[in-house]
Each structure stands twice: as structure tokens, then as C-alpha cells.
A and B are shown apart, each in its own frame.
Chain A
Amino acid sequence: AQSVAQPEDQVNVAEGNPLTVKCTYSVSGNPYLFWYVQYPNRGLQFLLKYITGDNLVKGSYGFEAEFNKSQTSFHLKKPSALVSDSALYFCAVRDNGGSQGNLIFGKGTKLSVKP
């Protein structure tokens, strides 16, 4: 079965420090991986995706993610965190077993950036 794991319920970082939000995946076939961010009472905003190509993917708001096939990981990173980055982050993988291309989401990681 295809799945996504986000091992941390919450990540706390100080403003200005680098941040990492972890994600590992399990899929059959080629992985299509995504990161989304959700602010309180809002829908999800697309940050970035890996389909093919360079393992380092750059996305919105200064975020990037590194696809690591051997470790089956797709960790989200940012060199210098902002207080406004505080939100809920979801990693997702496309369900290659289905015909509709729906996404399978991790349980989410709450990022808290303190001044």
C-alpha cells in the first residue's frame, strides 16, 4: 500500500534558523511528491512538487525539498525561518495505484517559528 509518513507532529525553530520538516514515502512505481501548507481555517496551498529531474526542488516562499530515492525521503527545508512560516505542513504522494491521480497525505507537521 502506498503511504506517506511525517514522523514529527510538531517542529519548533527560532526565527532566522534553518528548518526541516521530514517526510518519507512508500509507493509503487515512480513517486510524484508534493508539499502543501495550511494556515488556520484555510485550504491547502501548493508549495512544491517533485515529478522528475533534479533532486533538489525549489518552491514558493523560499522553501525547497530534496528527493532522496535511496532513503525514500522528501524533506522540506528552508535556510532561514520566518515567524510567518508557522503553519501546518502536509507531505503528499500521488496514488499510483488509482486511475484518478488522487493524493495520499501525511498526517501533517505543525511548524512553530518563534521570534
Chain B
Amino acid sequence: GAVVSQHPSRVICKSGTSVKIECRSLDFQATTMFWYRQFPKQSLMLMATSNEGSKATYEQGVEKDKFLINHASLTLSTLTVTSAHPEDSSFYICSARPLLRRLSETQYFGPGTRLLVL
């Protein structure tokens, strides 16, 4: 149980285009989903926290107009990188925290999306 999927797993796009990444909790409902960014050989940096039906909370330094987050349901959150540039190339990882109380302290992570902007 507690499986999180991400789609796509890898995407290559041209500079200036927008890319949407989906994060789904497959076998549980998630009150909260988190979006992280990981640079090579570095730790995960929290970008934003999304709650179903409300606006996302962005970490300091993260542009909310560039990284659009939509949390349409208890099982789906999307991250859209708008007008992508080469510096946006990174590994994006989402996680979900279950609605079920006894599991709610643990975040379950998706497999990540590798974005390469040319």
C-alpha cells in the first residue's frame, strides 16, 4: 500500500515551453502533497505544499507564477513549470501524506520526474 506515482518519469522540452507533472496517490487519499526539487548529488529542497481545494504554500524563493500547483482532488496534484528555462532542469519529486490518521506522519514519495530543458 501507500503507492505514489508520477508522470512523466522523464521529459525533455525546449526553452520557453510549459511542462506539467502529475503526482497521484494510487491506493490512499492524501490530505497534503509536497513538491521537492533535487539537484545532482544534493538533498531534497521543499518547493511547495499543496492541500486539496486550496492554494499551495510556496517556500521562500520559489516563484509561484513559474511553478503552478493545482491540487484538484485527494489523489492528484499537478506541478506546471511555465516558460521553462535550462536552469529549471532538475529532478522533481512529489510526496503525499495519507488522510488516514495512523499513517499521516509518514510521507510517501513518487519515483520522481527528470526534467531537461534545452
What distance in Å separates the Cβ of B58 from its nearest Cβ neighbour in chain A? Answer: 12
Q: How many A residues touch B, CB cutoff 8 Å?
A: 22
Question: When the two chains form their complex, are residues A107 and B42 in contact, meaning their CB atoms are under 8 A apart?
Answer: yes
A-B contact pairs, 20 of them (CB 8 A): A41-B91, A41-B114, A42-B111, A42-B112, A44-B44, A46-B2, A46-B107, A46-B108, A46-B109, A90-B44, A94-B105, A100-B32, A101-B97, A101-B104, A102-B34, A102-B46, A103-B46, A103-B107, A105-B43, A108-B43
Which secondary structure dominates where chain B touches chain A? Answer: strand
B17 at the interface (CB under 8 A from A): no
Does A67 belong to the interface (CB within 8 Å)?
Answer: no
Pick the contact of B105: A42, A45, A51, A102 (CB < 8 A): A51
Q: Is there an interface contact between A36 and B109, defined as CB atoms closer than 8 Å? A: yes
Q: Which residues of A contact B (CB under 8 A)?
A: 32, 34, 36, 41-46, 49, 51, 90, 94, 100-108
Max chain A Cβ within 10 angstroms of own Cβ: one of B4, B104, B112: B112
